[in-house]
């Protein structure tokens, strides 16, 4: 299974689980809030009944217990009004704010809008109203789940990015270690091979070997030296030199032309006329262009066209590598630069990941899939600061 598709599915499962937990938490909290609101409504109804009994109590009767019921409400803010909804009294409001008549009228309008009112009757007629709003406890219970979920989401987001940043750092260290070890392993036999080539050049051997075979062996040794140099630079800050970027592109194009199938045409169009000099590492940038052209060759059968175009735009050098290959789906535009991802059956998914690192980390540029269409081809674009 493709590791990035597995990662996507894993994230979707986590997201669905998180949504289920959030939904269950909100549902249960709302259930508790409704129960508490129902209990507060019952308490307000009890208060209304208490006021009604006070209105009907006979002179000389003991109504202390009725007053105790009224005094017992210390949490639910309420306003007592007459039948015209003029404020007659209030309880459980801020002692200073309750002195402001405009503030109390706003609170009353809010209570009336919500319908949180209970009538107080005397001899069958409503003479007063108790208007109330949610207690502080009920208000906090309604908003607490959202605050709690926000804190959980922030914590999970920080933990998620910390985990994947740590994983990415470990992966980078492994890639760097592998690259440097590869360079180290190649360097030993490479120096030995160079010595043998020099030895053969000094010996009397057939002219055809000395004129044809030894030069090719030298070319291959030079190529291996370049590859070793490239691998040794991974993980360390490479030296940047001022040089026309067109030369680096041209070197890569010419190298790949000699190794491309005869029916594949590789064309280079330089609109800068080699006048643009930028700071870059020629060895590493050659690697990038060769990788892009090699991927383009792999995307085609034994025939096709690869167009490499260099241009300047908005103080940036733009290099487009366009092929007439099989193309790719839009969902893979960003995945192709991830280590291990490959659209090829036997691909390792390393080349484009290294290209991205070289262009973005070492040269402060950008690389992207500009466009692609199934069956028609793909265009990669590199932008470097001029």
Q: Average pLDDT in the 223-244 region? A: 76
Does the pLDDT value for residue 84 go beyond 80?
yes
- Among the listed residues 231, 320, 217, 244, the one whose alpha carbon sits nearest the alpha carbon of residue 284: 231
Mean pLDDT over 94-106 rounds to: 84
Residue 338 has pLDDT above 50, yes or no: yes
State pLDDT tens for residues 355-369: 898 899 889 999 999
pLDDT for the residue numbered 365: 93
User: Are 293 and 346 in a shared domain?
Assistant: yes
pLDDT value at residue 351: 80
- Greater pLDDT, 44 or 65: 44
Residue 253: per-residue pLDDT: 93
| Statement: residue 62 has pLDDT above 60 | no
Q: Which residue, of 180, 210, 233, is where some domain finishes?
A: 233
Place of tokens 């892009």: 292
Residue 215, helix vs strand vs coil: helix
Residues 308, 188, single domain; the answer is: no
Residue 220 is part of which domain span? Answer: 140-233
Q: Which of 81-85, 163-167, 375-379 has the highest mean pLDDT?
A: 375-379
Asked if pLDDT for residue 379 goes beyond 90, the answer is yes
The answer to whether residue 45 scores a pLDDT higher than 50 is yes
Which domain-ending residue is among 233, 255, 279?
Answer: 233
pLDDT at 320: 95
CA–CA gap between residue 256 and residue 283 (Å, rounded): 15
Q: Are residues 99 and 147 in the same domain?
A: no
247 and 375 belong to one structural domain: yes
Residue 1 pLDDT level (bands cut at 50, 70, 90): very low
Its pTM stands at 0.53
Match 């592109």 to its residue by tokens: 249
- On whether both 247 and 322 belong to a single domain, the answer is yes
Q: State the average pLDDT over residues 324-351.
A: 78
Closest C-alpha among 109, 104, 108, 126 to residue 51: 126
> Does residue 359 share a domain with residue 255?
yes
**Contact assessment for residue 65 and residue 46, using Cβ atoms and an 8 Å cutoff:** no
**Do residues 222 and 263 both lie within one domain?**
no
Dmax (CA) for the chain in angstroms is 139
CATH number at residue 290: 3.30.565.10
Residues with Cβ within 8 Å of 101's Cβ and at least 6 positions away in sequence, in order, are 87
User: What element of type H or E holds 291?
Assistant: helix 282-299
Q: Which of 233, 266, 281 is the last residue of a domain?
A: 233
For residue 180, the model assigns a pLDDT of 66
Let me know whether 276 and 333 are in one domain.
Answer: yes
pLDDT category of residue 57 using cuts at 50, 70 and 90: low
The span from the CA of 333 to the CA of 212, in Å, is 44
Does one domain contain both 49 and 20? Answer: yes
User: Quick one: average pLDDT of 26-42?
Assistant: 82
Let me know whether 252 and 128 are in one domain. Answer: no
Highest mean pLDDT among 63-77, 91-105, 304-318: 304-318
pLDDT for residue 94 is more than 50? yes
pLDDT (mean) for 216-224: 77
Helices (H), 203-262: 207-208, 214-233, 245-257
Within the chain, residue ranges assigned H as helices are 3-56, 64-72, 101-114, 136-202, 207-208, 214-233, 245-257, 282-299, 351-356
- Reported as a single tens digit per residue, the pLDDT across 184-203 is 667 667 777 777 777 777 77
> Looking at the 3D structure of the chain, how many domains does it have?
3
Region 108-137 average pLDDT: 81
Q: Work out the average pLDDT over 296-317.
A: 89
Statement to judge: residues 114 and 168 lie in one domain: no
Segment 286-292 mean pLDDT: 90
For residues 79 and 72, which has the higher predicted lDDT (pLDDT)? 79
User: Are 177 and 62 contained in the same domain?
Assistant: no
């Amino acid at each position: 299974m493709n590791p990035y598709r597995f990662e996507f599915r894993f994230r979707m499962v986590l997201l669905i689980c998180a949504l289920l937990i959030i939904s269950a938490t909100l549902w249960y909290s709302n259930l508790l809030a409704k129960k508490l609101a129902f209990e507060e409504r019952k308490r307000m109804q009890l208060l209304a009944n208490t006021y009604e009994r006070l209105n009907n109590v006979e002179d000389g009767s003991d109504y202390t217990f009725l007053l105790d019921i009224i005094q017992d409400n210390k949490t639910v803010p309420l306003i007592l009004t007459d039948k015209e909804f003029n404020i007659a009294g209030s309880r459980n409001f801020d002692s200073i704010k309750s002195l402001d008549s405009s503030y109390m009228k706003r609170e009353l309008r809010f209570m009336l809008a919500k319908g949180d009112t209970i009538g107080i009757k005397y001899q069958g007629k409503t003479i007063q109203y108790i208007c109330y709003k949610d207690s502080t406890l009920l208000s906090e219970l309604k908003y607490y789940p959202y605050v709690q979920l926000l804190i959980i989401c922030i914590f999970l987001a920080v933990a998620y990015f910390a985990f994947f940043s740590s994983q990415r750092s470990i992966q980078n260290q492994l890639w760097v270690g592998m690259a440097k070890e590869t360079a180290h392993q190649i360097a030993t036999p490479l120096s030995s091979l160079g010595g043998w080539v020099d030895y053969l050049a000094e010996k009397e051997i057939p002219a055809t070997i000395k004129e044809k075979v030894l030069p090719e062996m030298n070319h291959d040794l030079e190529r291996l030296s370049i590859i070793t140099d490239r691998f040794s630079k991974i993980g360390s800050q490479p030296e940047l030199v001022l040089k026309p970027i067109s030369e680096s592109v041209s070197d890569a194009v010419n190298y790949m032309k000699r190794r491309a199938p005869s029916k594949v045409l590789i064309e280079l169009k330089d609109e800068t006329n080699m006048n643009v000099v930028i700071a870059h590492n020629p060895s590493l940038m050659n690697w990038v262009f060769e990788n892009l052209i090699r991927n383009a060759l792999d995307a085609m059968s034994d025939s096709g066209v690869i167009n490499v175009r260099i241009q300047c735009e908005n103080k940036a050098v733009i290099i487009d590598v366009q092929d007439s290959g099989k193309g790719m789906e839009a969902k893979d535009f960003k995945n192709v630069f991830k280590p291990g991802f490959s659209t090829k059956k036997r691909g390792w998914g390393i080349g484009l990941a290294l290209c991205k690192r070289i262009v973005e980390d070492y040269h402060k540029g950008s690389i992207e899939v500009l466009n692609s269409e199934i069956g028609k081809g793909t265009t990669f674009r590199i932008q470097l600061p001029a």
